[in-house]
């Protein structure tokens, strides 16, 4: 059993945080498009960002800020314009955004982190942002997580939020998070956008290490369409307001905190994969028997990202040959006579040999997942064993439907 419990409140569940989300006029749709997360005190800050060579101005800005200073108090996120591939003026817009929100909050601009999402090649609508900043500051609330989660989404069909609580040194410690992402999902860092808050007392180097490992086991293990965004950002704050003893070295308390952080990130990551554009179900791939965890995750992610596997799942076709082919091209050595493949409870391949199974029942299993309750009964499980190693890894994706092409073919038109 997990050593924590789910609670309400999202990113404002941890002590000492407020959040807000408003409509500033950045999106043509008129939907909420400006979010703010604020810590009442300076918080340890960590981040993981896109590895794309084409990076949004906010990514470059945050990397520089976190290299110079491992703390922050505010995260401002605009939706509607990615402000990526916008040149010098795009970066100047980012600097102006940081200064404007800092002045409105009466804090140093060095304590501000930024994120953007939307159409690549479009600058932030600065007039709308300038007028929206006083409004989003005024809207800050200890119950503002849902509003913030709604203001960062673009093509998402649902908002994504979670909060967990555990006990450290006989005091409650909480971690909350929100995320957005639906398409252009194949992270080489973290995810499209994800923000995490925590009220534990933890050193900056441990917090960064924990976040990087949590990202690898969550956001770096999801795929929707094989495309990595220019704006991928995972930012986590820890403000110490739980008043627990400081976690400054690895031990039982650090392990517990990282495990809960990973659980928060995995929940958000799975929510993103399930909300893939046009998706009808979540795909969870577990690989066992690999040489190490990294190898197992690589095989799992290759299977979850295979267009042929994803198309077969959408067509409710239990075509295990596509799973085998994806595992074989993952770049991880294994003996094919050791390969085992299961779809749900249906064993299809054992010791590299095909087995008889009820194809109609297996297809029905896929159909049932497509109408199952969100993140509960809507998951297709693929289990693959490649040998006798100790490596275990998971990856998540979604099926590939006709609607994915339609949504992305008409994205800017």
So which residues are the catalytic ones?
191
Residues in the chain: 413
For residue 5, the surrounding DSSP H or E stretch is strand 5-6
**Are the C-beta atoms of 274 and 284 separated by less than 8 Å?**
no
Q: Where are the alpha helices (DSSP H) in 9-86?
A: 57-68
Spatial separation of the C-alpha atoms in residues 77 and 48, rounded to whole Å: 16
Q: Is the dihedral of CA 178, 184, 185, 190 positive or negative?
A: negative
Which pair of structure tokens corresponds to residue 76? 């401002």
Site of tokens 């949004």 = 56
Q: In what order do the strands lie in the sheet with 353-354?
A: 353-354, 346-350, 340-343, 379-385, 282-290, 391-398
Which pair of structure tokens corresponds to residue 325? 């082919």
Closest CA to 35 of 129, 156, 173, 102: 129
Assign 180 to helix, strand or coil: strand
């Amino acid at each position: 059993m997990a050593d924590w419990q789910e609670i309400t409140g999202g990113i404002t569940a941890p002590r000492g945080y407020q959040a807000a989300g408003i409509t500033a006029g950045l999106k043509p749709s008129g939907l909420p498009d400006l979010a703010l997360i604020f810590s009442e005190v300076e918080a340890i800050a960590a981040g993981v960002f896109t590895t794309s060579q084409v990076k949004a101005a906010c990514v470059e800005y945050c990397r520089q800020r976190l290299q110079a200073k491992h703390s922050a108090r505010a995260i401002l996120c605009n939706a509607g314009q990615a402000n990526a591939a916008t040149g010098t003026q795009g970066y100047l817009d980012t600097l102006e955004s940081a200064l404007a929100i800092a002045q409105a909050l009466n804090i140093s601009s060095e304590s501000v982190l930024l994120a953007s999402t939307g159409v690549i090649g479009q600058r932030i609508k600065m007039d709308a942002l300038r007028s929206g900043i006083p409004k989003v500051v005024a809207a800050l609330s200890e119950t503002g997580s849902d509003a913030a989660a709604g203001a960062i989404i673009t093509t998402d069909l649902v908002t994504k939020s979670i909060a967990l609580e555990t006990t450290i040194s006989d005091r409650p410690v909480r971690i909350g998070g929100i995320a957005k992402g639906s398409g252009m999902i194949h992270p080489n860092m973290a995810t499209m956008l994800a923000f995490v808050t925590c009220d534990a007392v933890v050193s900056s180097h441990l917090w960064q290490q924990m976040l990087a490992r949590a990202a690898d086991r969550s956001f770096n293990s999801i795929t929707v369409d094989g495309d990595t965004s220019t704006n991928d950002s995972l930012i986590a704050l820890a403000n110490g307001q739980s008043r627990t003893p400081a976690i400054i070295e690895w031990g039982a308390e650090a392990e517990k905190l990282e495990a809960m952080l990973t659980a928060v990130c995995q929940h958000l990551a799975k929510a993103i994969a399930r909300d893939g554009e046009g998706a009808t179900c979540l795909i969870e791939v577990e690989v066992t028997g690999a040489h190490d965890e990294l190898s197992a995750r690589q095989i799992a992610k290759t299977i979850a990202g295979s267009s042929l596997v994803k198309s077969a799942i959408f067509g409710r076709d239990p075509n295990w040959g596509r799973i085998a082919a994806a595992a074989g091209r993952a770049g991880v050595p294994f003996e094919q006579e050791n390969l085992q493949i299961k779809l749900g409870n249906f064993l299809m391949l054992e010791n590299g040999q095909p087995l008889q199974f009820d194809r109609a029942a297996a297809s029905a299993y896929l159909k049932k997942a497509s109408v199952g309750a969100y993140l509960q009964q809507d998951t297709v499980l693929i289990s693959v064993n490649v040998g006798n190693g100790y490596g275990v890894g998971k990856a998540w994706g979604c099926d590939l439907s006709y609607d994915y092409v339609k949504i992305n073919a008409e994205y800017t038109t």
